[in-house]
Amino acid sequence: MITFNKEQQVFHLCNNQISYLIEVEEHGYLAHLYFGKKINHYSGHYQYVRDMRSFGPYPEAADHDTFSLDTVMLEYPGYGFGDFREPAYNFKLKDGSRITDFRYDSFEIVQGKCTIEGLPHLYTNQETEAETLIITLKDDVAKLRLKLNYTIYQDYATVIRSTTLINDSAETVEINQLASQALDFPNRSFELIHLNGAWGRERQLTREKIEIGTKVLDSKRGSSSHHQNPFVTLVEPTTTEFQGEAYGFCLVYSGNHQTVIEKDNYSQTRVVMGMNPFNFAWQLPAGESFHSPEVVNVYSNQGLNQMSKTYHDLFNHHLIRGEHQLKERPVLINNWEATYFDFDDAKIHGIVDEAQALGIEMFVLDDGWFGERKDDHRSLGDWYEFEGKLEQGLEGIAQYVHDKGMKFGLWFEPEMISKDSDLHRAHPDWVLSVPGRPRSLSRQQHVLDFSRADVRDHIYQQMTAILDRVPIDYIKWDMNRNMTEVYSLLLDPEMQGEVSHRYILGLYEFMEKLTQAYPHILFESCSGGGGRYDAGMLYYMPQTWTSDNTDPIARLKIQYSTSLVYPISTMGAHVSAIPNHQTGRETSLDIRGNVAMSGVLGYELDLTTLSEEEKALIVKQVDFYKEHRQLLQFGDFVRLKSPYEENEVAWMFVSKDKKEAIVFYFRVLVEASAPYVTLKLAHLDETLEYQIANHVISGDALMNIGMYIDPKLHGDYATQAFILKAK
């Protein structure tokens, strides 16, 4: 998979799908040659044009002026020696200088994939599944080493990259930037796809032409955020879901992040991705090292659906871990939108009784069970039972749920603290805050300083006291605000630029410890919905609450674009009440069900108020979902019609053996005298015939001719589902 041609000085990472080429240049700089479809043989004759450009600096030792770092495609560009484009790293040395000059030193090829201590990372199940190239660059003056890490898997069109800085000097070095990677492309007309949004409308797909200049996509919020997901794609203008080239970049990190896309004045494009350098200053003592998060690069020459399939399969098999990695997720009922804080034993029993009768498999008790949590003004940080709130207590409720043959889940928000709490009264210094300055509130709460081990230990002890006493099958881990006043009262002044990253490292340590101690528990991450939906969290928690917005029409866009990178098995989706609590929209139970079944199905409404007709329909939905759950959670997801382009939306699920498929069709608004709709399917076996209701149609006909949607489908927010089974 990885070779080094000594004569050409070229590294070639390849499998049956892709090639990635790196060259050691004449002055020891590391040049990027190619990333894309597999090249069977590289002759060594493809190089960038050697051409003198005015104001293009060249090395003093060079015997010509046609080599300039300002025009070469580089693997890991720096600043100060002639490259004026976006750098991948920035270090402050003891003398105040920021000028470094890293040259090639050595390489190592190892079987399998290296782990990263303290950070989420992809892994191999067997060493033969992957190979890793480690290229070492050195700055002999600063006495620093960079290790560029590249992993290629045997069966995936992906290259995983990360970077390590090693301080071999006798002095402390300040890291202001250490991107996970940079990737340069030659003159091409790319478009950029990225996922932006806000609370309740996460990961909205934006596609735009990349013009000459620099575009920065980032989060400074202390989390990956609702507002800008740490994932981007570069595509050709003609790329669609089914054809054309796509380059995906996904950062495996949950904190502040930054992606810079720069198209220079020679129309070369550079993508730099990693931790956000804003307000970042890490003191690296002599003899120590610092490791960046990973970036998962995926290439497709068969459109966006193929790129997504690679991400889904890769994350399901080489990122998500534990007992629930490939286990079917249960259908749940969450009490939040049914009761909010106003619940007692009788209300909970009523919801549980109805849920059992409807075939729902798990009850989740949300916010309001702890401390004196009457509302959102108090008690975060006091993770003990709200005395008198539930007469039976948590143990009694859990027992009641289990006696019904259901699982029991519980809500926590471990990273937060209320001012009106026993914890805050005892430890106000445990809050992220700047001495002498007022503190900001969001949802009436502050952020605990999770960079501190004593804070983490206290919260861990409280949580485990509950988990050791109450039989819990599922935890929803929430985080309902972003960081402000990012300052730790425990750290020295010169280390305050480390707080945001130390917080994330502390969070990861906590989650690793908790999930390993309770491997039977299914953990779902949440941050006011999908405010921390990223690959880093999936390493610890295999499921994420996609959005607090449960309106099915809004969810069409949210779930469609989320599926660009994140697997369906990770995507929590609930049927909720109407009018919808976030949008006020009224929609049928049919469309609410079909949208929610396109993720991990759950319900979030007062089941005790439903009509018999509604209950009967929910029984059908739950039965249908259970029957097809393996396909819907772990089959191949294929996007057919985009909610960002049309009034109609369609997607489908195809089994790995292509013998079964389910198609969901949605129409947002009805039209008078509407045109007839033909829906072309995809990813079927063209040699098979499929039973659809009373019809038998060949796979090639379904993919090339298509199938008609019933013109009698009336009203706004209409939907249909089709089941295909091979004969």
Q: Which residues are catalytic?
A: 478, 548
Check: CB of residue 185 under 8 Å from CB of residue 299: no
Q: Is 571 one of the annotated binding-site residues?
A: no
Residues 606 and 236: their CA atoms lie apart, in Å, by: 47
Which among 29, 68, 66, 72 has a CA at the least distance from the CA of 47? 72
Phi-psi group of 215: left, alpha or beta (phi > 0 → left; psi -120 to 50 → alpha; rest → beta): beta
Contacts of 45 (CB under 8 A, 6+ apart): none
Check: CB of residue 660 under 8 Å from CB of residue 725: yes
Three-state SS at 496: helix
Q: Is 103 one of the annotated binding-site residues?
A: no
Bridge partners of 104? Answer: 137
Residue type, 215: K
Check: CB of residue 600 under 8 Å from CB of residue 567: no
Which among 90, 77, 281, 285 has a CA at the least distance from the CA of 168? 285
Q: Is 694 one of the annotated binding-site residues?
A: no
Which among 359, 328, 271 has a CA at the least distance from the CA of 35? 271
Three-state SS at 147: strand
> SS3 breakdown of the chain: % helix, strand, coil, rounded to 5?
20, 30, 45
Torsion angles phi and psi, residue 235, rounded to 5:
-135, 160
Q: What's the 3-state SS for 277-323?
A: CCCCCEEECCCCEEECCEEEEEEECEHHHHHHHHHHHHHHHHCCCCC
Residues 204 and 226: their CA atoms lie apart, in Å, by: 10
Q: Is 532 one of the annotated binding-site residues?
A: no
Q: Is 199 one of the annotated binding-site residues?
A: yes
Contacts of 719 (CB under 8 A, 6+ apart): 588, 590, 591, 594, 595, 664, 665, 666, 667
Check: CB of residue 473 under 8 Å from CB of residue 522: yes
Check: CB of residue 408 under 8 Å from CB of residue 390: no
Token readout for 414 is 């471990």
Which among 564, 571, 562, 561 has a CA at the least distance from the CA of 541? 571
Q: Is 411 one of the annotated binding-site residues?
A: no
Residue type, 210: I
Q: Is 250 one of the annotated binding-site residues?
A: no
Cis peptide before 567 (omega within 30 of 0): no
Check: CB of residue 274 under 8 Å from CB of residue 318: no
Token readout for 100 is 């470094």
Q: Is 218 one of the annotated binding-site residues?
A: no
Which among 156, 162, 154 has a CA at the least distance from the CA of 295? 162
Check: CB of residue 293 under 8 Å from CB of residue 274: yes
Three-state SS at 645: coil
Q: Is 511 one of the annotated binding-site residues?
A: no
Residues 719 and 722: their CA atoms lie apart, in Å, by: 10
Check: CB of residue 35 under 8 Å from CB of residue 245: no
Strands 269-275 and 181-185, bridge-based pairing: antiparallel
Which among 635, 650, 717, 643 has a CA at the least distance from the CA of 684? 635
Binding residues: 199, 366-367, 443, 476-480, 526, 548
Binding residues for substrate: 199, 366-367, 443, 476-480, 526, 548
